[in-house]
């Protein structure tokens, strides 16, 4: 190696060392928040779907942060449904009410998990239209009485996936909670019932009377006892006393778990009915005695 080549190599070495030193110095000067965003931004750009999903989901821990909200909105367009679902969940968690319009548009997504996540986010943000999705899942119809469109039927194409999604996200329904091991064994064989049961319990909070009637129908007519039990639980939680006849019919159900749920519903609704009963009308007030002179 001649003198010129050695000189060139030395210059390159010094330049590279200086560059690395400058980069390290810049990193050292970063604030903890800047470093945190660097980490999170790297996660949001991950090629691995699972890692990207996790990074998107934790955006929900940053309410009021415009940067986080914008990142979640971008993630709604991700090509992976897991990421889109995480984005919808994050927007709900961060109470981003100005994104309600975007979340409502997600009801036509091609993935059921995304549709449910968006519906749950809408309910979290106080938009009762989110209940429409759960009503459609439970009844197979829209509240208008029309059948589901092809796109909407995709919600039930993979009920096992929807059930798993619900458990993982904490927004679903554990239909066998308090119902014993027999329910757990049934769920392992019947993957559709947990989804229908989840929808029933969510509808307990829907103020629309039409949802109450849907619960009454499910409580009396559904073939799956786990759905009937869930519907009765929802009726009890709903506290709508006009649904007591449906609860009373469950007292004769073949399945003990359903009868127990029906009994609880009857007791609660009867108690509520008694509290709301109008007080007996009082008679006319007695006339004051005439004054003595």
pLDDT tens sequence across 221-279? 999 888 898 899 899 989 999 999 999 999 999 988 889 889 989 999 999 887 765 55
19-28, 158-167, 188-197, 264-273, range with greatest mean pLDDT = 264-273
Q: pLDDT for 101-125, tens place per residue?
A: 999 999 888 887 788 889 889 999 9
Closest CA to 141 of 120, 126, 121, 155: 155
Q: How many domains does the chain have?
A: 1
* Contact (Cβ atoms closer than 8 angstroms) between residue 175 and residue 261: no
Domain assignment present for residue 203? The answer is: yes
> The domain containing residue 269 runs over which residues?
172-274
Closest CA to 138 of 239, 210, 88, 82: 210
Domain assignment present for residue 86? The answer is: no
Domain assignment present for residue 144? The answer is: no
CATH code for position 219? 1.25.10.10
**Rounded-to-integer distance, Cα 214 and Cα 208, Å:** 10
Domain assignment present for residue 204? The answer is: yes
Domain assignment present for residue 205? The answer is: yes
Mean pLDDT of 179-186: 51
* Contact (Cβ atoms closer than 8 angstroms) between residue 152 and residue 145: no
Q: Which residue has the tokens 């931004």?
A: 41
**Rounded-to-integer distance, Cα 259 and Cα 248, Å:** 9
Q: What are the beta bridge partners of residue 161?
A: none
Domain assignment present for residue 139? The answer is: no
Domain assignment present for residue 6? The answer is: no
Domain assignment present for residue 41? The answer is: no
């Amino acid at each position: 190696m001649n003198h010129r080549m050695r000189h060139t190599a030395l210059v390159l070495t010094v330049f590279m060392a200086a560059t690395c030193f400058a980069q390290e110095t810049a990193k050292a000067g970063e604030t903890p928040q800047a470093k945190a965003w660097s980490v999170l931004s790297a996660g949001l750009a991950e090629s691995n779907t699972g890692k990207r999903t996790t990074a998107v989901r934790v955006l929900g821990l940053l309410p009021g942060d415009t940067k986080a909200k914008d990142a979640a909105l971008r993630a709604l367009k991700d090509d992976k449904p897991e990421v889109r679902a995480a984005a919808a969940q994050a927007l709900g968690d961060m109470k981003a009410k100005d994104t309600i319009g975007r979340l409502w548009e997600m009801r036509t997504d091609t993935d059921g998990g995304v549709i449910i996540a968006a519906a749950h986010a809408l309910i979290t943000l106080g938009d009762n239209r989110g209940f429409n999705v759960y009503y459609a899942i439970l009844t197979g119809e829209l509240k208008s009485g029309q059948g589901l469109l092809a796109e909407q039927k995709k919600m039930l194409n993979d009920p096992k996936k929807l059930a798993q999604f619900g458990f993982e996200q904490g927004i679903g329904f554990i239909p066998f909670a308090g119902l014993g091991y027999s329910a757990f064994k049934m769920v392992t064989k019947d993957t559709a019932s947990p989804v229908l049961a989840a929808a029933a319990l969510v509808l307990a909070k829907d103020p629309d009377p039409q949802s109450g009637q849907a619960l009454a129908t499910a409580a009396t007519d559904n073939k799956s006892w786990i759905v009937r039990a869930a519907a009765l639980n929802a009726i009890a939680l709903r506290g709508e006393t006009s649904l007591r006849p449906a609860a009373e019919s469950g007292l004769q159900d073949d399945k003990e778990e359903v009868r127990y749920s029906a009994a609880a519903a009857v007791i609660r609704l009867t108690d509520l009915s008694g509290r709301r009963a109008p007080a007996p009308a009082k008679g006319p007030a007695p006339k004051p005695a005439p004054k003595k002179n």
